[in-house]
Amino acid sequence: MTPRRQPSPAMRAVLDRLAQEDRGLADPTTLEPQAGRALAALTNIRWNEDLPPVAESRTLMHAGLPARLVVPEGDTGRDAILHVHGGGWAFCSAATHEGAARRIANATGARVLTVEYRLAPEHPYPHGLEDVLAAWATRDTDLRWSMAGDSAGANLALAAMLRLIEEGGPLPAQALLFYGVYGADFATPSYELYADGPGLTRAKMQRYWNWYAARELRDRPAVSPLAASDAALAALPPLYLNAAGLDPLCSDTERLAARLRALGRNDPFDLFEGVVHGFMQMGPALPEARDAFQRAGAVFRKRAD
């Protein structure tokens, strides 16, 4: 069996800090959804200190949904990204992901729109996906739009693209997908290695899944994108994928990347060793997070030229 890898020195320092700051706090997934959501918001907001400067950041309504628009100082005036935040389909928001949105905007040169889609368990599948599709349908078509998402947001972004392929709708120019959840197989190599963390655990992911989608729905590509046909995956726009080495979800991205390669596609895939799930949220404290945004931005800019 593959041995467990150890956190990088910077990741270890962050984990030690979190252990100290969060001592005595409950696991949000074990609380009632509203209480868990509030706690997750409070523990995520610490990563929005020392936000990178941008030309503009404001709240607006988009497709009837609250949303946050970030315009980088180097705005090209041509590209925009529909950003779908993570949080297990149940937690987080445009506010918790403000730092991520700013770093994506600055790295890509594109304006970034983060939408507040409906959250599980009050609004299980397909409500969040429907909101992402509605946000896509009402985009400003004078701009060239792409998509981005992390974790459950990457799931929703990829599921939305698969739905657009099925329906014959216009696709994003490209997509940036960060440590996504693409299936509900809890016995993958990374789930076995990191079932108990650090960070995300198998039990937490099982609770998220139970909130989001009943078992009988999980073989649908719009729920578990790894269930998509080869033809559907081949029709996707250019993707950029990354994964965290110490993440129960790492095998999801590795399996997706392997299927795409087998189809003859050339979608870049970066595996960041020594970091946990959600590491890109930790940009102020983690060099690997800053590197991840820069790598994704470099791919985006090269394609956008």
Q: How far apart are alpha carbons 175 and 233 in whole angstroms?
A: 13
Mean pLDDT check: name the lowest of 2-6, 107-111, 208-212, 289-293: 2-6
Q: Does position 1 have pLDDT exceeding 80, yes or no?
A: no
| E-only strand ranges, 36-168 | 56-62, 65-71, 79-84, 111-115, 144-150
Whether the CA torsion 258, 262, 267, 270 is positive or negative: it is positive
The amino acid occupying position 83 is H
Domains of the chain as residue ranges with CATH: 9-23+52-304 (3.40.50.1820)
Kindly indicate the confidence band of residue 2, based on its pLDDT and cuts at 50, 70 and 90: confident
Catalytic residue positions?
151, 247, 277
- By the 8 A CB rule, do 251 and 160 touch? no
Q: How far apart are alpha carbons 304 and 124 in whole angstroms?
A: 35
Q: If you average pLDDT over residues 118-132, what whole number do you get?
A: 98
Q: What is the rounded average pLDDT for all residues in the chain?
A: 97
The amino acid occupying position 241 is L
Alpha-carbon Rg for the chain, nearest whole angstrom, is 18
- By the 8 A CB rule, do 276 and 198 touch? yes
Q: How confident is the model over 204-244, as pLDDT tens digits?
A: 999 999 999 999 999 999 999 999 999 999 999 999 999 99
Q: How far apart are alpha carbons 253 and 301 in whole angstroms?
A: 22
Is the pTM of the predicted complex or chain greater than 0.95? Answer: yes
Residue carrying the six token digits 């992911």: 205
- By the 8 A CB rule, do 127 and 147 touch? no
Q: How confident is the model over 28-75, as pLDDT tens digits?
A: 999 999 999 999 999 999 999 889 999 999 999 999 999 999 999 989
